[in-house]
Chain A
Amino acid sequence: SQQGEEDPQALSIQEGENATMNCSYKTSINNLQWYRQNSGRGLVHLILIRSNEREKHSGRLRVTLDTSKKSSSLLITASRAADTASYFCATAGLGGGSYIPTFGRGTSLIVHP
């Protein structure tokens, strides 16, 4: 069963706008990862944030993690048409096989030129 759940399921914006996607999860985690999937392709890793971190940046991407609320957000600033893709969060727990990333259902982002 999915650990993380992304919100919204779909997001449509204009080029240049910011896009924010959220991920909520249920149990304690060791780390949370965000991935991008372009149509017909495999997933590509974007950012990994550990449970003791609150914020990470990578280029136009900003990820926050609030372990007290069991939630994370992915912000894409100044979006481009090439950012059109599905975005997934994956959570990894503690102990046993729970370190294996568990994926949510994803947010489908469309950026209109």
Chain B
Amino acid sequence: NAGVTQTPKFQVLKTGQSMTLQCAQDMNHEYMSWYRQDPGMGLRLIHYSVGAGITDQGEVPNGYNVSRSTTEDFPLRLLSAAPSQTSVYFCASSHTRSPEASSPLHFGNGTRLTVT
């Protein structure tokens, strides 16, 4: 059971380049999300999805796109990378779709992105 798998582990981009961060989970979780973690800022929610075909914005969505075509995959796209997007990105999933059914988040090990 792999849990949440993120690829790549490290990436360096030049300003203006595009890329996709991959996230896959094998736990049949309905809920998936992307966070970025910056020093002194904790984790901030970028986008999330409560099921295939459904996505919504989090706290810091600008500059990022997502899609959810399958239950398993939730890729994060940077269309035109900027130095401000240098960060560590975490994907997380859970069974939760409502407060009454809150369950823990399962995290991947992150992607360290540097934009020069």
- A residues near B (Cβ < 8 Å) are 1-2, 30-31, 33, 35, 40-45, 48, 50, 88, 90, 92-95, 97-106
Q: A99 vs B105: C-alpha distance in the bound complex, in angstroms?
A: 12
- Enumerate chain B residues within 8 angstroms of A102, measured Cβ to Cβ: 45
The number of residues on chain B lying at the interface, defined by a beta carbon within 8 Å of a beta carbon of chain A, is: 28
Whether A1 contacts B109 by the Cβ 8 Å rule is: no
Nearest B-chain residue to A31, judged by Cβ = B102
Whether B99 contacts A30 by the Cβ 8 Å rule is: yes
With contact pairs A30-B99, A92-B102, A100-B58 given, residues A42 and B4 touching in the complex (Cβ less than 8 Å): yes
Whether A100 contacts B48 by the Cβ 8 Å rule is: yes
Select B99's contact among A42, A92, A103, A105, beta carbons within 8 Å.
A92
With contact pairs A42-B108, A43-B90 given, residues A1 and B59 touching in the complex (Cβ less than 8 Å): yes
A-B interface contact total, Cβ < 8 Å: 64
Whether B102 contacts A42 by the Cβ 8 Å rule is: no
Whether B106 contacts A45 by the Cβ 8 Å rule is: yes
Q: A23 vs B99: C-alpha distance in the bound complex, in angstroms?
A: 20
Whether A99 contacts B96 by the Cβ 8 Å rule is: yes
Q: Chain B nearest CB: distance from A20 CB in Å?
A: 20
B:83-99 near A, CB below 8 Å = 90, 92, 96, 98-99
Whether B42 contacts A106 by the Cβ 8 Å rule is: yes
User: What are 20 inter-chain pairs, A to B, with CB distance below 8 A?
Assistant: A1-B59, A2-B42, A40-B110, A43-B92, A43-B105, A45-B104, A48-B102, A48-B104, A50-B102, A88-B43, A92-B102, A95-B99, A98-B99, A99-B99, A99-B102, A100-B45, A100-B48, A103-B35, A103-B42, A103-B44
Interface string of B40-76 (1 = CB under 8 A from A): 1111110010000000101100000000000000000
- Enumerate chain B residues within 8 angstroms of A31, measured Cβ to Cβ: 99, 102
- Enumerate chain B residues within 8 angstroms of A30, measured Cβ to Cβ: 99-100, 102
Does B25 count as interface, using CB distance less than 8 angstroms? no
Nearest B-chain residue to A6, judged by Cβ = B42
- Enumerate chain A residues within 8 angstroms of B48, measured Cβ to Cβ: 97, 100
Q: A90 vs B90: C-alpha distance in the bound complex, in angstroms?
A: 15
A-B complex: 3 closest residue pairs judged by Cβ atoms:
A42-B107, A45-B104, A105-B42
